[in-house]
A and B are shown apart, each in its own frame.
Chain A
């Protein structure tokens, strides 16, 4: 057991029979929190979430209660709730399982959140297009909730009404960016909006809109039911609750783990209850701690807790909880090329530094990886990355949205920490790893 094993909040029903059905969810105590919330004043629900120190689980880690508080109290316009189920950050696959194993936990969270917000009677769940099975499960759960009077007119017999509509995306990473998501919901291509105004003031259809991640909303019922103090107590001083971590790459047991925010990356990889170590005596070379946008950590930096502030102090970020482990036989140039290629593919094309810079990074990396690199290429790569977004610190991007930062941060950090590998490719005029750039795993699964 990890020394700091915590009570499971989000994953507590996973693996139980029928956990994705209304009956299954109710047997595990489901919709009691909504009942309780409907007996409270909306402002009291909001205050409870504020006090719980719940922070957004989509990537930015913004305090959820504070975000809800930005919606203007008096406005002639309705308020919308948009659920970000566009899980696409490479290395991240937690919301997939919430949608698959316990969609009602999210739906109950949606209903409580909409109740807590002023004038909110419509929510849209924006689910990534590739989640076909998850969309079907989620739609069935919504239908069950409507039929049971948990959604629709007069929720649980109260005066509160709520419609929840499911909208499927169609394959665009950028639509996970909250304002691009709103554009897509409005039937447009996913081009992010310049902020301010922030969506809480001017969002969907020009009306105040709160955008929350699936895991964030799934955390809300437990907070209402068991209280802010309990939830805050599970976490650290500045962030409450547990956290879902997606572990992938060179580990024996990849998967989603609900952990305490005190768990370190080393514990996550090697604990017998978690990652169970690395295969065949391999050792860690590098770890990306929060989805592929997060600056990479080297092997000597992994005794750090998977928590917002601790990772920030290491110059990286907790992000979306995607932890990708690279072993000592992995080529870092090829790894970065794979990452860079993604951002080039997914750049929406709106801002010049990102549109031109992301494919440029990819071309330079491919050239180096294929043994065609020359002196000066690494400097040029860094120049291109700096033109998209300088680093450190995080957040200085020259683009409308954070995709620019996301594309530049891996480049800055890979080169800073593994410069010798880039130079070795150029000096030897080939990839030193030959045709096995992925170490142990080059051959795929047995």
Chain B
């Protein structure tokens, strides 16, 4: 795979992990492994680059279009390269009752991005309920969960990011 998405080391990691994942499914249902395969690709590359999508499709015996159909349906899959830190702020009802809208405004001012925007360091998104309503408001940064937040607590978390 000279023109593939991976270094030889990454290629090996991808192949061995995918081989294990495929044992979870009936042999004639390789395509079912699409979700874990895309997650694996994103874990290695940080996003879903086109040549990686082609490789996933090829390994699962399906088309690249099919792989994109799945990838673009789910918000946690990034078909475009996001900022280094993806910040997902919940603004659903329970979090808003505990000040999520103001928390989001605070983050927007601090990092200079509006929700929905990206720069090389950050992607900021308003996200939907993270099932943490008893410890509202909450957000996730690169899938790490933070709860019972205040602006001061968020400042502390953000200053810890490189």
Contacts and interface: CB of A to CB of B under 8 A. Distances in A.
Interface of A: 87-93, 95-96, 124, 128-133, 163, 165, 167-173, 184-190, 205, 246-250, 254-256, 288, 292, 322, 324, 326, 330, 334-335, 338-339, 342, 345-346, 348, 438-439, 441-446
Given A132-B143, A190-B74, 15 more contacts: A91-B93, A92-B129, A129-B39, A132-B145, A133-B145, A186-B31, A187-B34, A189-B70, A249-B133, A254-B94, A342-B128, A444-B98, A444-B100, A445-B137, A445-B150
Which of B32, B33, B132, B133 has the most CB atoms of chain A within a 10 A radius of its CB?
B133
A88 B143 CA distance: 16
Contacts of B75: 170-172
Nearest to A349: B73
A87 B94 CA distance: 15
Contact of A169 (B26, B74, B97, B132): B74
Cβ-closest 7 pairs across A and B:
A444-B99, A187-B34, A170-B74, A248-B133, A189-B73, A171-B75, A171-B76
Interface string B27-42: 0010111111011000
Given A169-B74, A171-B76, A90 B129 contact: yes
A226 B35 CA distance: 39
Nearest to A322: B133
7 contacts: A91-B129, A130-B130, A169-B74, A171-B75, A249-B133, A338-B93, A442-B102
B136 A254 contact: yes
Contacts of B31: 186-187
Interface string B121-162: 000000111111111110010011100111101000000000
B98 A441 contact: yes
B92 interface: yes
B118 interface: no
Contacts of B144: 132
B32 A186 contact: yes
A167 B99 contact: no
Interface residues of B, number: 52
B60 interface: yes
Contacts of A130: 76, 88, 130-131, 140, 143, 145
A138 to B, nearest CB: 15
Contact of B148 (A171, A249, A438, A445): A445
B132 A168 contact: no
Contact of A187 (B35, B91, B128): B35
Nearest to B93: A338
Nearest to B69: A189
Contacts of B129: 88-92, 173, 292, 342
Contacts of B103: 444
Contacts of A132: 143-145
A133 B130 CA distance: 13
B63 interface: no
Interface of B: 24, 26, 29, 31-36, 38-39, 60, 69-70, 73-77, 88, 91-94, 96-103, 127-137, 140, 143-145, 148-151, 153
A442 B74 contact: no
Contacts of B74: 129, 169-172, 189-190
Contacts of A330: 97
Contacts of B69: 188-189
Contacts of A87: 131
B73 A190 contact: yes
Contacts of A338: 91-93, 96
A22 to B, nearest CB: 22
Contacts of A246: 133-134
B29 A444 contact: no
Contacts of B97: 248-250, 324, 326, 330, 438-439, 441
Contacts of A89: 129
B92 A92 contact: no
Nearest to A257: B134
Which of A96, A169, A256, A346 has the most CB atoms of chain B within a 10 A radius of its CB?
A96
Which of B88, B96, B149, B150 has the most CB atoms of chain A within a 10 A radius of its CB?
B96
Which of A91, A170, A250, A330 has the most CB atoms of chain B within a 10 A radius of its CB?
A170
B133 A324 contact: yes
Contacts of B38: 170
Contact of A170 (B35, B96, B149, B153): B35
A248 B32 contact: no
B38 to A, nearest CB: 7
Nearest to A78: B26
A445 B98 contact: yes
Given A184-B35, A248-B94, A441 B99 contact: yes
A92 B131 contact: yes
B150 to A, nearest CB: 4
A170 B93 contact: no
